[in-house]
Structure 1
Amino acid sequence: MSVEHTWNMAGMRGTGSDTIIADDVFVPEEHVVFPARTALGPSTPRSVPKPQGLMGALAAPVLGMGMGPYDHIVAKLSGGRPLVSAMGSHARAIDSPGVQANVADAAMLIDSAILQAARTARTVDRATRTGTQMSPLAIARSRMDCGFAARQIRQAADKLLDVGGAGRFAESDPAQRIWRDLGTATRHPAFVTEIDREQYARLLLPVLSAQ
């Protein structure tokens, strides 16, 4: 067995997503997972509906990556960082209406993303408890919820970095690492809503499906 180092990315560098190569290895059938089969299989009272359960699991760290830079940058601003512009250094950045507006916007984007992800979590939990299959509409809405929530988190991080100062992009600062991780993670196929929204629209507007 060997590892081929194929994961050379700007972000998510710590995921260990390199390629594992195994020759002449026996793998019992019960240890093999076929995503295409599990996605269509029935739910039981003890199984998590797929792929919605996976999407919820993927959304959770993205939400955390949004909260991280928020706490970090707000702490830096609260510490008295001056407002520096082309006109020179002025009073504390935290006293600037523009900075305050960006922080408020970022907080609302993060809160909204959490609420949307929570709706998906509740829907999946309910299906898991009852052993029922989620409806196609519920599945499509869950995918849209998670994808839209990821986009909101990315927007929030950008707003925070806009007022955090260029110093937040120093390699020693955790904000730039989280920013890179978000840029990579939120472009996972699970969060790409451009395709999912077409299916969502067809389910919201049944007349389209009949054409």
Structure 2
Amino acid sequence: MSLIPLAASAPPAPGLAPLDPAEHSTEIHAAARIDAIVDRSNLCVDYLLNFQVAFEQVMPRLRRMQLGFDDAVMGFNDMEEALDWLEEMIQGMTGTLKKMSHVVVEILDSIDETFDVMVEGICALEEKVEVIEDDIDELIYGDGLWPIRICNHRCSSDDPLIWPPVSDTPYPTGKPETLAELQSMNAEMCTALAAALHLRPPPGQLQSTLEWRRNQVINHLGCAE
């Protein structure tokens, strides 16, 4: 059996260098790295796409929040303006209240003064009422003078008077018999009649005028002047 001769392997084409096994392995590793980088890039792109979707979902909420914040800012501005207006009103009211307080104090002072005058008038009236009550008691419960005084009160200036009886000191001689004579009697006659009728000068007045002593006797007898 004849042997088939093996043809010699064809020489490499001119210009192409034979592949080095080490270099071929390096190229494989580089390609693997490129693939890994591409995979990671694709993964990052997926993450970015997912983030974009989530961001697009969040954006309307952010817009609504922004609108709410704008409304809140406008409301705050309105509230600030309202507070400024209220502060101005309070300041104005404070000034008005101060003026009113001064007016009220003046009115109260005037009322106090008026009240004091009224109290003085009431006290004076009470004193007069006491004097009138004393006179009434004297007329009603006195020594029988009220009928005499009523009669003398009705007498004219020339009618004869009624004199009450006396015991301790008698009447002076020539005592007046009419109102006209009473109005013209002298100081000596006034003193004598006052002693007989037990009339005394007012407290704190040891010496009284002649006119006052005449009126004292006339009033005691109830004569109408």
With the length of structure 1 as denominator, give the TM-score of the two structures: 0.21
Higher relative contact order (CA 8 A, sep 6+): 1
- State the TM-score, normalizing by the size of structure 2: 0.20
